[in-house]
Every structure is written in C-alpha cells, then in structure tokens.
Amino acid sequence: MALQIIRLPDGQSYTVTPVFAGLFFKSRELSTHINAFPIGWSVVLHTQDDAGEAPPSADAETTPHVRSFTRPTLQNDKLFISSISNPSSNDFKPATSPTRQIAMMLWVTLYWYFHQPEPPSILHAEASKHTPESGKPRGEWRINIKRDGVLRGRNLIPKLERMGLISTLDSAVGVAMDDSEGWSRMFVSRKMFWQIPGRLFLFTLQPNASKPVHSHPGSPTSSRPGSPAIGEPARPHLSPTISHSTAADLPGAPPPMTLTSTPTYPIGPFYSSSHLPTYYPPAPPLFIMTDNIRHPVRPKPPRMGEVFYTRFIHSVGQYLSFRVASLSPKAVPHMGPIGPKPPSQSDLQTLSDTSLLQKWLANPRVSAFWGGYEQDFLTHALASKHSFPVIGMWDGVPFGYFEIYWVKEDALGRYIGSCDADDWDRGFHVFIGEDWARGRVKPWLTSLVHWSFCSDYRTMSICVEPRVDNKRFIQHLQYAGFSKDKEISFPHKQAWFGRLRRDAWDGPAF
C-alpha cells in the first residue's frame, strides 16, 4: 500500500505510511500550526479470514488464518493502536485525558479506514451456498477493534464503548468477576461511524505556556516550516489576522467581517482556544404549541456567517463547507480550511450574501423553480423560527443556497400530517447558483444529511419535497438513497415527497 494523505474536517492532515504489520499516522501540521496534534501513532491492522477461507489443515478450526492488510474486507479486519509518539513536553502539555487522546487517535484511524474502497457486501454462509450471487444476503461493513497494545488497559475499552466510539453485540453484564468477559469482540461499523459527531473526539494539544509560542508566526517553538508531501505544491506561510481575544470566542461568536489576510489556522466548528472537543449535546425536549402544532422547542441555529460544517471531498480535491447566510453589506470572510490547490472563481468571495442571492436568482435556471429575488428574501429566512438559510462553499467560494428546516412546523409537516412527521425530522430546500458547481450533487447532498444526523441523534429521517418536474434533482435524490413516499399538492406546486431514514444511510460521499 502506497503512502496516503488523509485530510480531516478541521483542516489538519496526516500522512499514512505502511510499516511492519500496520500503519503509521504522522501529523503534517506539527511544524505549521500552533495547535498541533500529537506527532503520530502506529496501528496494527490485519485481516483474519474465516475458517472456511483458510487453507485446509488439522487445526484449521482453532487457528485462524491471519494475513497482512491490503484492502478492506466486509467484517474480517482487526485493528489496535500499538504505540504513540508524543511531541516534546517542552513544546506541548500532555493531554489532560489520556483516554480522550487515544479516542481521538482511534477516530482519525477509523476516518482513514472508512475512506478506503468499499468491500463487496455479500455474506457467504452455509445456508446460502446454493443461492446465486445476486440473491445472497448482504452484510454491514465493519472493523473489529482488538484489546491489545495501547488498548489493552483494563478500563480503556469500556470507556471507548461508553463514549459511543466502539460497540459490541454482547449487551449482557456478564458473570466473570474479573470483568474480562464481553469486551473481546468490539467493532465499529461504517454506518455507525458516520453518525458519530467528529466534534466529540477531535481536539488539539495545548502549547506549553512556559515557552514562547512561536519561533515565527504560526509555527511551534524550534520548528521549521513543514515540507509538502510528494507531488504537492509548497504552502505559502500565512500571517495571523485576528487577536487572541477574538479567537477565544470562536466558534459561537459572530465571525469578524474584516480580515487583512488568511488565518494561520482554520477557524470553524472544530476550533477551540481551550484545546478541548467542541461538541455539546442537544438540550432535553420541551414542547410548545405553534399554530395548533405541538413540537419541541428548537435550539437556536449557528450565528450569521458562522461555519457549522466542513469536510474534505477527495473526488473534488476541495473542502466543502456550510455557513449561515448573513445580512452584512460586506462579504463574509472565509477562515476555514482549504484544499491543496488555490480555489478558482475567487471573485465570488468579494460579494455579500445579498449580492450573491441577487446574482443567483437572476439566473433563469434558478428562477424557474424559485422565482425572482425579493428585497426581504434573506431577512425573512433569517427570522424564521423553524429554519435557517445556508450558503454552501467549495474552498470558501460560495456556490449555492440552502434552507434547513424542522419538518413538524413547516408547511410540509401540515400537509403530510403529524403521524408522518416525527418531532425531530429535518428537511431542506436547495438551489445551486453557480454553473461550475453543478455535477457535484452527491457530496453536498450527503453532507447535509451527515450534518443533520450528527447534529441530533433523535433525527430519524431527512425529508425533501422538490417540484415533480425537477426530474434531474429527483434522480440525484434517489441515487443518494431517498425514496418516494407520495406526491403532495401544495398551493404553489405539485411536490415529490421523499425521505431518507437514518437506518438506511451508510455515510457521506467522498
């Protein structure tokens, strides 16, 4: 297996290098970012074939056939972290919680693993040996987590299970007094992994305050500028642009509207001045009535201009991000991560959101479904209590407009009835304003689903209701896993009502 680069949602990146019996994950950001991850860690990864696939021998039933990992299998891969390489304690403080640090490393490792080519989903069993391949049962892609190496600690595996990162099919307390029973068959499935909020596990080590923070701006003490990976252009050094007091309020505070240059480190949903995970669970439910509809009190959306989702899309080579639209007369500056190549169409970054909407809604392709621009279009969208307006961006360049809403209080909820609209079902409206961004539907479509399912575990389905003559978009929805429930006659349109349920979703597109 050749060297690979994995880019995390927060802008950090790692090189993944094959080593004896496994892989070494090395941070590429340690010498270029003030808030770096540990230098790296090694994992042991191998494939343990079923007894039926092992070569015949006298002890085939008791000795599994273990081979080196080359590509993922459906359920036969085994993984554990074997060693950790921490940075010098002179530069960074040790992790406050070693368990959190190991959980972060395991999450990054799984993030890499579930970006690998998907294995065939067919299950081979004695009961289906005479069934044609097309009719054999299908299984769920998962990887087994072995209680070995760094993960051998008595309480570590139980803690990782309680954090929701790993799971087991044995849900009994067990009768063994040493508590060793039931913790040997842990796993993570792909479907399970992509519903885990990354903000629950990603964090950074805190620089040692007893030493100067920079040897030059944006670089840890006594470090040198990082070298690009083979085949990648060198990254220009970027100067810091916002004060520490301003950065300490992010994320969650309104982003600054004036920047002199690009920040040295990405500021988005994962950034934390306290170097702690930025995930907060949703509030407990409190119900109210609105227009004779009983529904939960909704949490406030992110603030105007705030980025709430980022992810690197490998097929495009750019970071996809979503932020809340803003009424600011100035362009909202992008402070999040960008891909390895400078973005094109950067002139769009100089336009305010109002100007972007005027430009996009003047396009006949868009206005055919949305109508023309109205002066209070964005004001009304921002004032809604059950939805919020969103600008989609590729490497910080705006390309489209979205509205994410709660179905129960929306017009859709009234038309499908309370029996078909659960309390935490979400939906979205969309138009793509830029022609150059068309053809990238699956990444942003599945990313909206990804954010919705990670934002609240109680959201069980995502709903859409495009106009029935929007054939192309409906086809994209079906490719992404949405299925038609029925057609709905709104006063202004005949709609194709589709739904994607949580248990039918495998993960976002790459």
Cis, bond preceding 251 (omega within 30 deg of 0) = yes
**Distances, alpha carbon 89 to alpha carbons 13, 28, 92, 148, 221, in Å:** 22, 19, 5, 26, 12
Q: What is the 3-state secondary structure (H, E, C) of 237-296?
A: CCCCCCCHHHHCCCCCCCCCCCCCCCCCCCCCCCCCCCCCCCCCCCCCCCEEEECCEEEE
CA pair distance 132, 424, nearest whole angstrom: 41
Single-letter code of the amino acid located at 509 = A
Tokens describing residue 27: 């941070």
Whether 29 sits among the annotated catalytic residues: the reply is no
CB 168 within 8 A of CB 183: yes
Buried b (16+ CB within 10 A) or exposed e, 236-273: eeeebbbeeeebeebbeeebbeeeeebbbbbbbbbbbb
Within 8 A by CB and 6+ apart from 14, the residues are: 5, 6, 8, 25, 26, 27, 28, 37, 40, 108, 112
| Residues contacting 115, CB < 8 A, separation 6+ | 6, 314, 510
Alpha helices by DSSP H, listed for 331-383, are 353-361, 364-370, 377-383
CA-wise closest residue to 281 among 457, 422, 161, 459: 457
Tokens of 206: 């805190």
CB of 464 within 8 A of CB of 487?
no
Pairing of strands 307-313, 4-7: unpaired
Taking the C-alpha atoms of residue 256 and residue 305, their distance in angstroms, rounded to an integer, is: 9
| Residue 342 burial (C-beta neighbours within 10 Å; 0-12, 13-18, 19+) | exposed
Q: Which of 232, 306, 465, 487 is catalytic?
A: 465
Q: Active-site positions?
A: 465
